[in-house]
A = this chain, B = another copy of it.
Amino acid sequence: MTEPFRFQSVAIVGIGLIGASLALALRDCGFDGAIAVADRNADALQEAEALGLGTTYHGDAAAAVADADIVILSVPVGAMAAVGTAIGPALKAGAIVTDTGSVKGAVIDAMAATLPASARFVAGHPIAGSENSGPGAGFPSLFNHRWCIITPTPETDPEATEIVSGMWQAFGANIEMMEVTRHDLVLALTSHLPHLIAYNIVRTASDMEEVTEAEVIKFSAGGFRDFTRLAASDPTMWRDVFLHNREAVLEALGRFSEDLAMLQRAIRWGDGEQLFDTFTRTRAIRRSIVGAGQDTAAPNFGRPQEPRGGE
């Protein structure tokens, strides 16, 4: 075994931002075993090979996992069941399978339905990413100082949970153990709803025919640009998140819409006190997030103030 990893051979299925960052983080931490890379997208696979992310490259996930002690599934949540079906028969007995999906209930169900009993599945979710996609977007420190949530069930093998946790800790992540449905509710609020809102406001702005897209872009520094980052995230990944965490997302969204209707009414009726009260309460949360090291204290996220190009 290569310390600190308790496995000799890895397969990464899905070599996008997360899969590529995993491959780079493994090497960065001194892992010198085999890394079999699989992706059904030939372009992504070729890019991964050009970047030297793995030791072997496979269009067929089953071929990639045949020798793996641990298989990491970093594909969109909606593709998990098909991948499980494909790799199930090819897995070594006792192989660990883990994933990085943003929804955990649906993935656990998909794995239970498709993996053989001899496979040891551990559901995981690193709270890390960026608006960029594809193997070229990966970087080895992506998981450093970030949380990784593991959602073991009574069926999960404790040793496998330890081995997966140890891998994330080697990458600099901190582990949070969480119950499956709680994960899906907490993430619906802290991640899925924010992405949905961001996608929606960008759509609203681009559809508003009285205001040109050029104006929206030109004056986006007034606030709009903050939303466009999340709204540039991978469409397939996010489609799948919403389809597979439907109940929790609808619950969070229902509350958001109720609250928004109240602010709308306050604006219509000129209720300045209610607006002021709401806007005052929300300041404290920002301070807590910065205080907890989950965001920078620098104004404007510390973004560089670049000269306007192309004007």
A2 contacts B by Cβ under 8 Å: no
Is there an interface contact between A308 and B145, defined as CB atoms closer than 8 Å?
yes
User: Is A210 interfacial (CB 8 A cutoff)?
Assistant: yes
Can you spell out 6 A-B residue pairs with CB atoms less than 8 angstroms apart?
A189-B204, A198-B226, A204-B252, A233-B279, A242-B275, A243-B275
Contact of A238 (CB < 8 Å), options: B131, B252, B275: B275
In Å, the complex CA distance between A197 and B249 comes to 17
Cβ of A44 < 8 Å from any Cβ of B?
Answer: no
Among candidates B144, B149, B185, B216, residue contacting A190 with C-beta atoms closer than 8 Å:
B216
Give A215 Cβ to nearest chain B Cβ, in Å: 5
A235 on the interface (CB 8 Å rule)?
A: yes
Name the one of B189, B219, B225, B246 contacting A205, with C-beta atoms under 8 angstroms: B189
Contacts of A177 in B (CB 8 A): none
Chain A 9-32 near chain B by CB (<8 Å), digits 1 or 0 = 000000000000000000000000
**Which among B211, B249, B270, B289 is the interface contact of A217 at CB below 8 angstroms?**
B289
Taking a contact as CB atoms under 8 Å apart, the answer to whether B236 and A200 are in contact is no
Residues of the B chain whose Cβ atoms lie less than 8 Å from the Cβ of A202: 282, 285-286
Q: Within residues 296 to 311 of chain A, which ones have a CB less than 8 A from any CB in chain B?
A: 296, 298-311
Question: In A203-235, which residues have CB < 8 Å from any B CB?
Answer: 203-208, 210-211, 213, 215-233, 235
